[in-house]
Chain A
Amino acid sequence: MRIERLMLERFGRFSDAAIDLSGADVRLHVLLGDNEAGKSTTLHAIGDLLFGIDVRTPYAFQHNYDALRIAAEIRAADGRRLLFRRLKRAKNTLRDLDDQVLPDTALAPFLGGAGRPVFDGLFGLNQQALRDGGQDMLDAQGDLGRMLFEAGSHVRGLSAARKALEEEADRLFRPSAQKRVFNQALGAYQEARKRVDELIVRAEDWERNAAALDEAEAEWAEIRARRETIGRERARANRIRQLLPHIAALRGAEAALADLTDAPDMPADAESRFNDAVLRLRLAADSLERADAAAEAARAEIESVTVPFALLDRAPEIRRSGEMLGRSRDQNVDLPKRKTECAETVKRLGDLCRRLGLDLTVEQLVVAIPTDTATADLRQRISAHAAIEQAVRDAARQRDEAALEAAQAAQVLAAVPAPSDMAGLRATLDAVKAHGDLGARHTGLVQAHDAVRTRLDTRVAALPLWPGNGRDLAAAPVPDGATVARFAKILADAELRLSRAEERRAEAQAAIHDADRALARLESEGTVPTAEALAEARALRAQGWALVRRRYIAGEAVGKDEIAGYAPPDGLVAAYERSVAEADALADSHAREAKRVERHAHLTGDRAAAARQSEAATVEAEAAAGTLTAIEEEWRAAWTPAGIAPLPPREMEGWLAERARIMEEGERLATLTGERDACAALIAQSHVALRAGLPSDDGVGGDAPLAALLRRAEAILDEAVGLAATRGRLVTRHDERADAAARAAAALARAEAARDKWNADWSGALAAAGLPATWTPAAVGAALDLWQEVRRAADTLGQLTHRIEAMESDQADFAALVRRVVSEVAPDLADVVPTDAAPRLAERLKEAEAAARRRIAAGERLEAARAEEAEARVAHEAANRALEMLRGLACCQSDEGIVPAIRNAARKAELAREVEGLRTTIVQNADGLSLAEALAEADAADPEAVRAAVNRLDEEDTALLDRTRAVSERLAACKAAQADMARGHGAADAAQDMADAEAALAECARRWMVLKSAALLLGQGIDGFRQAQQGPLVTRAGELFGLLTRGSFAGLTVDYDERDRPILLGRRPDGARLGVEAMSEGARDQLFLALRLAAVELYVGAAEPLPFIADDLFVNFDEGRAGAGIEALIALGAATQVVLFTHHAHIAELATAKGGAGVVAVQRIAA
């Protein structure tokens, strides 16, 4: 496939750009573009064109995704062409240039099954890919299969991929290596399996343990039974051994008790009661002694203390004087100040009195102060006075304003005239308006009229044959339709007759013509010696003869004209001789050519018949023509009155129809004219009526249109309505103003009445306040303020006077109190001032009170001593009584006998209790035996034998106990083992681990198999490719390599490395061989290019060729090698289309130089 034309309609920065890649002989297309010229865009566009625009193409920066389009014309190897367009769409991306959708497979025949990877990878090559390819070859270390495959395919790194697969497989498993994933998984599996074995609880273990458990339990039961027997025996022996001491004690106690049978019984607490009584007796004696001493001491104290009772009796007064002392001292300071203030206040009152204009003493002034009621009344009146005066002023002002407004309203109202009666005009207007918009109607009618008129005139003018106007047309005496139809018919008949006659004549003429031609043919064969010709020849001969005879025989003069009429110029004789000869010849041939003559006669007959027919037809035609003419004459005559030279009747039928339509139009015009005129009349009539209704001095002229009059009338009516409304509003306002004025006057009257009343009341109030009747409210107000000050000063004076009096009274009271007390209880202080005497009195009182307290305390102690003494006496007596009772109980007279008696009684009781206790103990420890049985058992037993039995039993039990311990340990162990086994050891978990490990192992194995297989298949696949391609590819690549290295290498050769792998070597012209690793970087690049170009050649040799797109391949080549590269591309150009993109002008020049203009086509690209 070749691209003939590439059209970048909307792509990248291109808009409607076209690149011509045509030319069957062109081997190399060089597309030269500066940087940014759109070279890469074009390169990409080719791929997008053929295989679809990338979903996220970066080339939609100028045109939207939806707008992107690339078109091209391509040509397949077999010559087929396709002109198509590629759009950026989700589907239906292929279109023809008419935008009809092409199937997605439309390009398939041109691509030969290659996909974009093949196109981009194999058929596209740029500098970087070249460099990478060279590097890959170095990495391949000469591995032929790999080098051939990578250079010859569009896939990179597949050998590396194979290696990676192998490595991954190796990581998983390698037969000889241990630390692989597989082995680890296997180890994990085996570990888990081992754990399952270890953790599993086996039935045998369970059963063995169960048997051991049974055995231990049986032994345990046996031991327990024996120990129970031992226990019982040992209990009996122990019982006897335990009871023996108790029994012995019992017997001893019972004997002792018997010895004390006679001892008196005493209370259990007799001894403590005795001791208590003795003690209390002694304590009571001590108390008596102590009380006596205390009483004595108290009495001595009482006597030693002197109490000044007189002073104590005055204690309240002394304390009071102490309390008054402080205030008295303060007052001594305060009193002079208050007196000064008092004098100042009196002076101020005097001043106020003068300011009031009164001549009164202070006391009189105070009395004269007006009462609060009077003051309040006056103040209220004063404040009311101002309001009342203000009210009168306000009312007067409002009355004046209202009156003024009322007057103004009246004035305004008077200025507005009373509305005139507009009923007439209104009626007229309504009547006119009832007709509707007359003006518009009239205009419409006029327009319709004019339109019809114009149309009518046009039609009349267009009507043929009629020079006049429409009106005359209507009046013109034209034939009616029936007449025209009749003429049409007879004319048609006449014409038919005529045409038939002419037809027949024509037929006859044709027959004549045919006969003439036949005769002519006959005659052309030679003159037909017809009888007529013979006769004619003879007649001519006779005519000649007659002339000859007349001229030459008769010698008559024969006119030249006559001779000329007979003979040609050669002379009469010759003519006569010729006619004789002709007549003779005719006569001869007439006889000789009878058949022709007959034929001639026949033809002549036919012709004559035809001539007759023709003639008859001519006659008939003429008759018919005459008739026709007559009819046409008549036809024209029928139109003459109308002055019309008519067309044929058929046409005049149309004319008449048009005339009828024109006449209809005319009638319509007449109707419209009538309506228009009626409308105009109505307008005029309305005009007059409205004019009459309008004021005579109205500005609207008599020639104003009706609409203007209507508008005017409506305006006047609107104005009248407005005026009436305005006047109504003014009347209302006037009435309101008048009412307001009346209300204001009334308010003023009320305000004045209030003022008058206030004036009247004022005098009374002044009198009540004792003020002069002439005083104005202002004066009274000022006086009241002064009175207020007088009242305050008088209050101050009163308070001061009262305080001074109180202080003086306090001073007097204090002095009197102190003097009184001093005179009564401290005469030595009589000369001391009260303020000094009072403290000293207080001091003395304090001392006296201390003495009194001491005296009271001594008294209380004395009372207590007396009470203790009495109590001790009572206790003493009680103790004596107790001792006496004990003596009675003990049956002795003295206290000394009491104690032994008490001791005996106690011993007796104790023995009795002991006996009882021992008996209880014996019974309690006799294991259910009665006392008697127990005593009997003990009596019967031998203590020694019992002890021996106990020892024996103890020994046996100890031995059994040891066995018990061992058995219970076994039992516990068995039970624990059983519980442990019942719980399980986690074998199921381990089994799950084992299953997990097995799964992991299976996965690992499976993965390894896949990797291993893939690596193997890939390796063998690449090797297979090598084997298949090696021969032709290496040979062709060797040639190209030689070309590209400009003879530095002569070709390529295949050898085998130490591992017997085929490797590729370069061959120098001298036969030396060089491995890829030993080649220069440039040589490697050229080797890769050679392999690639060879692969492309092989590809296009086997499949549909694709264009080879080289992108600035030689940018790093020196000029010589670049030239060689270009030559290689030109060589490839024989097999498939080759396009070289470059932004180096010198490459383009070099290409042109290498290939020549016809072989290398250079064009610039620019977006």
Chain B
Amino acid sequence: MRFIHCADIHLDSPFVGLAARPDAPRDTLRDATRRAFSALVDHALREQVDFVVIAGDLYDGKWKDYTTGLFFVAEMGRLARAGIPAFVLHGNHDAESQLTKRLTLPDNVRVFGARKPETFTLDGLDVALHGQSFATRAVTDNLAADYPQPVPGAFNIGVLHTAMEGAAEHAPYAPCRLAELTARGYDYWALGHVHARAVLSRHPHVVFPGNLQGRSIRETGPKGFDVVTVTDGRVADVRPIAVDTVRWARIEVDIAGAKDFEAALALVRPEIGAAIDAADGRVPALRLILRGRTPAHDTLKAEPELLHSECLAVALSASDAVWIEKVVTDTTPPEMPEHSAANGDAVGALFATIDGLIADNDALTDLRVSLADLVGRLPADLRRTMLTEQGALDPSLLSEVLDEARALIGRQVHDGEAAQ
């Protein structure tokens, strides 16, 4: 028996965090989630798997475009024509989605109910799938606790959309503990919600397949689904299959000592090459972070567009389609001292004052108000990421901003010194 386990497909959801650049490969980005899902169906048909399990978050919650649902129906139709059933569990996004409620799905698709755990079996296969869909967006109950006892003699699969416990980057929905799952007596837990692939346990297997296509720099590395092979009622193999068309990677390059722009590029070049190789033929989406104390600092800082173009040129020389998402120059000039209050001169006094201001919570009230004013004009989603629940500026954001501001002043001082 062989089946596909996937989750977090987020059909038609946009790539996050890219300020539109003219050189962005829009055609590649467009439909990337659809192409990934079609590739999954292609694989199912080609390999003649016995069924497909989708462990939640087919759609983005607020996404209302009915064509997205129609696309899903069409893909399920392809599976139906090949006689391959699909078991769908609704995650937090699906629960919120209008599409989930309005679509009519082909007969080969069975959806786990949201009121209580439900068990599906398949004719001719000793398999039982247990699962409970999310009824609402925020399910904070432990759903797994109510999952039924395993069906004796069958290969039992628990399908669950959960953040487990302590997946910090993900909303803490349907929390449960690993030990709880492994103790349930199931053979395989097909989980969803966490976007990074993880095999938390073997025999019984507890698997997050990760999402199907990375959509931001936070979702790096190969993305896809898992093909699970079951022999004699036991998991024989869990094999990840990558179907992403765009592959995200963060490249941190220490260019300390690079004497000029060219030398810095020379250090970056092999790293880009390695990242492109690692992208395995996908369109690489690369964020380059240059670090270190280097004489090239000033040029790199002064010429961000040139730097971006050069990096892109390097990348394009190694690959026809590649995307430099961002080049972050986090370097320092070699001779720039740590500006601090300890310096005995006016600069020392200046930084003493600045550090005092940063430390003094009250001193920056005006600034906070001023910054909050801007944040108040941002769209709600964006605003939420920058404000506390009480509507104040997020302290960690303020702290980061002040750090950057201090560094910026440091650079200005450095430039002023250089102007002497």
Q: Please tell me the size bucket of the interface on B.
A: 35 or more
Binary CB contact string for chain B from 1 to 45 against chain A (1 if under 8 A, 0 otherwise): 000000000001111111110000010011100000000000000
Q: Which residues 343-369 of B sit at the A interface, judged by CB distance below 8 A? A: 343-347, 349-354, 356-358, 363-364, 366-367
Question: Is the CB–CB distance between B64 and A1005 below 8 Å?
Answer: no
- The minimal Cβ–Cβ distance linking B87 to chain A, given in whole angstroms, is 23
Within 8 Å of chain A (Cβ to Cβ): is B375? yes
Question: Is the CB–CB distance between B413 and A158 below 8 Å?
Answer: yes
Q: Which residues 976-1019 of A sit at the B interface, judged by CB distance below 8 A? A: 981-985, 987-989, 991-1003, 1005-1006, 1008-1014, 1016-1018
A198-B177 Cα distance, complex, nearest whole Å? 44
Identify the closest chain A residue to B19 (Cβ): A1000
9 additional contacts (CB under 8 A) given A173-B374, A200-B65, A994-B14: A115-B337, A129-B420, A155-B416, A162-B412, A201-B67, A992-B26, A992-B29, A995-B16, A1099-B345
Question: Is the CB–CB distance between A165 and B66 below 8 Å?
Answer: no
Binary CB contact string for chain B from 311 to 333 against chain A (1 if under 8 A, 0 otherwise): 00000000000000000000000
Question: Is the CB–CB distance between B353 and A995 below 8 Å?
Answer: no
A-B interface, 9 closest residue pairs, ranked by CB to CB distance from nearest: A1024-B353, A153-B346, A984-B67, A203-B102, A155-B416, A1013-B405, A1103-B344, A995-B14, A996-B20
Question: Is the CB–CB distance between B345 and A153 below 8 Å?
Answer: yes
- The minimal Cβ–Cβ distance linking B259 to chain A, given in whole angstroms, is 9
Question: Is the CB–CB distance between A202 and B64 below 8 Å?
Answer: yes
Most chain B CB neighbours (cut-off 10 Å) among A153, A175, A1001: A153
Q: Which residues 144-203 of A sit at the B interface, judged by CB distance below 8 A? A: 149, 152-158, 161-162, 165, 173, 175, 182, 186, 189-190, 193, 199-203
**Chain A residues with Cβ under 8 A from B66's Cβ?**
200-203, 205-206, 981
Within 8 Å of chain A (Cβ to Cβ): is B261? no
Question: Is the CB–CB distance between B374 and A995 below 8 Å?
Answer: no
Binary CB contact string for chain A from 726 to 766 against chain B (1 if under 8 A, 0 otherwise): 00000000000000000000000000000000000000000
Is chain A's binding surface mostly helix, strand, loop or mixed?
Answer: helix
**Chain B residues with Cβ under 8 A from A1011's Cβ?**
405, 408
Question: Is the CB–CB distance between A1017 and B409 below 8 Å?
Answer: yes
**Chain B residues with Cβ under 8 A from A121's Cβ?**
417, 420
Question: Is the CB–CB distance between A117 and B67 below 8 Å?
Answer: no
Within 8 Å of chain A (Cβ to Cβ): is B95? no
Please tell me which stretch of B106-114, B123-131, B378-386 contacts chain A, meaning at least 4 of its Cβ atoms lie within 8 angstroms of it.
Answer: B378-386
Question: Is the CB–CB distance between A1005 and B375 below 8 Å?
Answer: yes
A95-B128 Cα distance, complex, nearest whole Å? 80
Q: List 16 A-B contacts (CB under 8 A).
A: A112-B344, A113-B342, A154-B347, A161-B412, A206-B102, A981-B67, A984-B68, A988-B30, A988-B65, A992-B26, A996-B18, A998-B381, A1021-B351, A1025-B353, A1028-B353, A1102-B344
A33-B379 Cα distance, complex, nearest whole Å? 69
Question: Is the CB–CB distance between A988 and B412 below 8 Å?
Answer: no
**Interchain CB contact (< 8 A) of A155 among B357, B377, B402, B417:** B417
Question: Is the CB–CB distance between A1012 and B65 below 8 Å?
Answer: no
Question: Is the CB–CB distance between B20 and A993 below 8 Å?
Answer: yes
Question: Is the CB–CB distance between B416 and A156 below 8 Å?
Answer: yes
Identify the closest chain A residue to B345 (Cβ): A118
Question: Is the CB–CB distance between B63 and A991 below 8 Å?
Answer: yes
Most chain A CB neighbours (cut-off 10 Å) among B67, B342, B345, B364: B345
Within 8 Å of chain A (Cβ to Cβ): is B373? yes
**Chain A residues with Cβ under 8 A from B409's Cβ?**
1014, 1017-1018, 1021
Q: Given known contacts A120-B420, A207-B102, A1006-B401, is B347 in contact with A998 (CB within 8 Å)? A: no
Question: Is the CB–CB distance between B343 and A992 below 8 Å?
Answer: no
**Chain A residues with Cβ under 8 A from B351's Cβ?**
1021
**Interchain CB contact (< 8 A) of A201 among B17, B65, B354, B405:** B65
**Chain B residues with Cβ under 8 A from A1028's Cβ?**
349, 353
**Interchain CB contact (< 8 A) of B16 among A117, A153, A157, A999:** A999
A1014-B357 Cα distance, complex, nearest whole Å? 12
**Chain A residues with Cβ under 8 A from B26's Cβ?**
992
Within 8 Å of chain A (Cβ to Cβ): is B406? yes
Question: Is the CB–CB distance between B346 and A149 below 8 Å?
Answer: yes
Question: Is the CB–CB distance between B412 and A1017 below 8 Å?
Answer: no
- The minimal Cβ–Cβ distance linking A573 to chain B, given in whole angstroms, is 114
Within 8 Å of chain A (Cβ to Cβ): is B299? no
Task: Please count how many residues in chain A sit with their CB below 8 Å of the partner chain's CB atoms.
Answer: 82
**Chain A residues with Cβ under 8 A from B379's Cβ?**
186, 189-190, 193, 998, 1001
**Interchain CB contact (< 8 A) of A1024 among B103, B335, B356:** B356
Q: Which residues 471-529 of A sit at the B interface, judged by CB distance below 8 A? A: none
Q: Which residues 88-120 of B sit at the A interface, judged by CB distance below 8 A? A: 98-99, 101-103
Question: Is the CB–CB distance between A1012 and B371 below 8 Å?
Answer: yes
Q: Given known contacts A1002-B382, A1021-B357, A1024-B350, is B413 in contact with A1010 (CB within 8 Å)? A: no
- The minimal Cβ–Cβ distance linking B22 to chain A, given in whole angstroms, is 12
**Chain A residues with Cβ under 8 A from B179's Cβ?**
none
Q: Given known contacts A155-B417, A1003-B19, is B378 in contact with A982 (CB within 8 Å)? A: no
Question: Is the CB–CB distance between B70 and A1017 below 8 Å?
Answer: no
**Chain B residues with Cβ under 8 A from A983's Cβ?**
67
**Chain B residues with Cβ under 8 A from A118's Cβ?**
343-345, 347
Within 8 Å of chain A (Cβ to Cβ): is B370? yes
Measured CB to CB, the residues of B under 8 A from A are: 12-20, 26, 29-31, 63-70, 98-99, 101-103, 335, 337, 342-347, 349-354, 356-358, 363-364, 366-367, 370-371, 373-375, 377-379, 381-382, 385-386, 401-402, 404-406, 408-409, 412-413, 415-417, 419-420
A155-B63 Cα distance, complex, nearest whole Å? 54
**Chain B residues with Cβ under 8 A from A117's Cβ?**
337, 417, 420
**Interchain CB contact (< 8 A) of A991 among B12, B374, B381:** B12
Identify the closest chain B residue to A119 (Cβ): B345
A363-B1 Cα distance, complex, nearest whole Å? 131
Q: Given known contacts A155-B416, A158-B412, A989-B30, is B65 in contact with A122 (CB within 8 Å)? A: no
**Chain A residues with Cβ under 8 A from B70's Cβ?**
981-982
**Chain B residues with Cβ under 8 A from A206's Cβ?**
66, 102
Question: Is the CB–CB distance between B65 and A1029 below 8 Å?
Answer: no
Question: Is the CB–CB distance between A1024 and B349 below 8 Å?
Answer: yes
Most chain B CB neighbours (cut-off 10 Å) among A200, A1013, A1014: A1013
- The minimal Cβ–Cβ distance linking A1016 to chain B, given in whole angstroms, is 5
**Chain A residues with Cβ under 8 A from B386's Cβ?**
1005
Identify the closest chain B residue to A162 (Cβ): B412
Within 8 Å of chain B (Cβ to Cβ): is A1095? yes
Most chain A CB neighbours (cut-off 10 Å) among B65, B357, B420: B65
Binary CB contact string for chain A from 386 to 400 against chain B (1 if under 8 A, 0 otherwise): 000000000000000
Question: Is the CB–CB distance between B382 and A1018 below 8 Å?
Answer: no
**Interchain CB contact (< 8 A) of A1021 among B29, B67, B350, B417:** B350
Q: Which residues 96-149 of A sit at the B interface, judged by CB distance below 8 A? A: 112-118, 120-122, 129, 149
Binary CB contact string for chain A from 1077 to 1106 against chain B (1 if under 8 A, 0 otherwise): 000000000000000000100010011000
**Chain A residues with Cβ under 8 A from B69's Cβ?**
203
Question: Is the CB–CB distance between A161 and B65 below 8 Å?
Answer: no
Identify the closest chain B residue to A980 (Cβ): B67
A129-B416 Cα distance, complex, nearest whole Å? 13
A91-B415 Cα distance, complex, nearest whole Å? 26
A200-B417 Cα distance, complex, nearest whole Å? 56
Question: Is the CB–CB distance between A982 and B342 below 8 Å?
Answer: no
Question: Is the CB–CB distance between A1018 and B354 below 8 Å?
Answer: yes
A1029-B29 Cα distance, complex, nearest whole Å? 58
A145-B385 Cα distance, complex, nearest whole Å? 38
Question: Is the CB–CB distance between A1022 and B350 below 8 Å?
Answer: yes
- The minimal Cβ–Cβ distance linking B49 to chain A, given in whole angstroms, is 27
A122-B350 Cα distance, complex, nearest whole Å? 15
- The minimal Cβ–Cβ distance linking B122 to chain A, given in whole angstroms, is 30
Within 8 Å of chain B (Cβ to Cβ): is A443? no
Within 8 Å of chain B (Cβ to Cβ): is A275? no
- The minimal Cβ–Cβ distance linking B43 to chain A, given in whole angstroms, is 23
Identify the closest chain B residue to A190 (Cβ): B379
**Chain A residues with Cβ under 8 A from B363's Cβ?**
1020
**Chain A residues with Cβ under 8 A from B402's Cβ?**
1013, 1017
**Chain A residues with Cβ under 8 A from B347's Cβ?**
118, 153-155
